[in-house]
Amino acid sequence: MGTTEPKPSRKVRVAGFLYRVRRRIATGLAVVLAVFLAYHVMVGRNGVNSYEQKRLEDRTLSEQIHTLQQENDRMKEHVDRLQNDPDAIEHEAREKLHYARPGEVIYTLNERPQAQNEKPQQTTANKP
């Protein structure tokens, strides 16, 4: 003889239906949340695009810092020479300030001035 299973009651069927609906809703919400988070990670304020821009800016600033440190070192050496080396002081005085020793004559050559006879070229349109 076969045993027949009793039909589930209406309450059990409704409870099973509600359980399946809740699972589908929860799964849908989890997918929406995952898509939102993925979008935020890629495009958001601190996303991957922003991260790449900041890495590029960091590289650029690091190069600028390195260049400025080298220039700072050169300047410090120059200041040290000016403070301690009389020949460097004399060289600066002669080059920048045009100082001369007694009895010396300094000749300077001016750049060739633009000829006054030359007029700037003017273009005029033909009028009918």
How far is C-alpha 93 from the geometric centre of its chain's CA atoms? Answer: 42
Q: For the chain, first and last CA: distance in Å?
A: 119
Which helix H or strand E contains 114, and what residues bound it?
none
* pTM of the predicted model over 0.75: no
Give the residue from 110, 91, 111 showing the smallest Cα distance to 101: 91
Q: How confident is the model at residue 128 (pLDDT cuts 50, 70, 90)?
A: very low
Cβ neighbourhood burial of 88 (10 Å; 0-12, 13-18, 19+): middle
Q: What is the pLDDT of residues 90-109, one digit of tens each?
A: 888 888 887 888 888 877 78
Q: What is the pLDDT of residues 35-83, one digit of tens each?
A: 999 888 888 777 888 888 999 999 999 999 999 999 999 999 999 998 9
- Yes or no: say if 99 and 93 are a contact pair by the CB < 8 Å rule: yes
Residue 38 and residue 31: Cα distance in Å, rounded? Answer: 10
